[in-house]
Amino acid sequence: MKTITLIFLLSACTAPAQGLTTQIDGFLDIPWGATADTVKKTFPSKARTRLDQINSKPGEFVFTGGKFAKFKVRRFNLEFINERFWNGHVTLEPVSKDHAKVHATFKQLLTEKYGPPSSDEVRSGNLVTNWHVGTGPEEKERIEIQSDPNGDGLKIMYASDRLRKILQAGSAPEVPKKPKTISTAPGAKDDL
């Protein structure tokens, strides 16, 4: 009887891990390695945002407004190396001066999807939580939540450190296949 109980407890402890996402293919249906032109055309409709041509610069598009996981967005920053997308981050409109509650909400949503964070710490008074997603010894994809960088509001970053390293070495990535069908109704878990 003790053996059966132990087996049941072990399987119950590992059951949630079976449904976890083990890779990050991009940011808001924009695949890693997408060209700058593709991102410029498809991203605004996905995030219900608009390109800020004044603040955009070579290697980085800035978009203002929109929604991310049902929260109002101050800005999206999408970064490129050699005209290929590798990093996207979103700064939310502040809902209060204390961003700990929104940080906890995103931490819970991301933990449900990717498992427990790789690190959780306080840096310069801000909560910072990181996930390193992927298998193998090479660089991984990363998600980071910062509670209040520069007094802006909660910031969530998605990055392909693996692709960044390839692009910086001057290698051309495989051109991504056609982007996934873009949903026009962003939802809390769909956007993560």
pLDDT in tens, 8-34: 333 333 334 556 888 888 999 899 999
Position 188 in a domain:
no
Q: Are 76 and 47 in contact (CB under 8 A)?
A: yes
174: its two tokens: 């495989």
pLDDT in tens, 133-190: 887 767 789 999 998 766 778 999 999 988 998 898 886 666 555 444 434 344 555 5
Position 40 in a domain:
yes
Position 44 in a domain:
yes
Query: What is the number of domains present in the chain?
Result: 1
150: left (phi over 0), alpha (psi -120 to 50) or beta: left
Position 174 in a domain:
no
Position 104 in a domain:
yes
Q: Which domain, by its residues, includes 65? A: 26-168
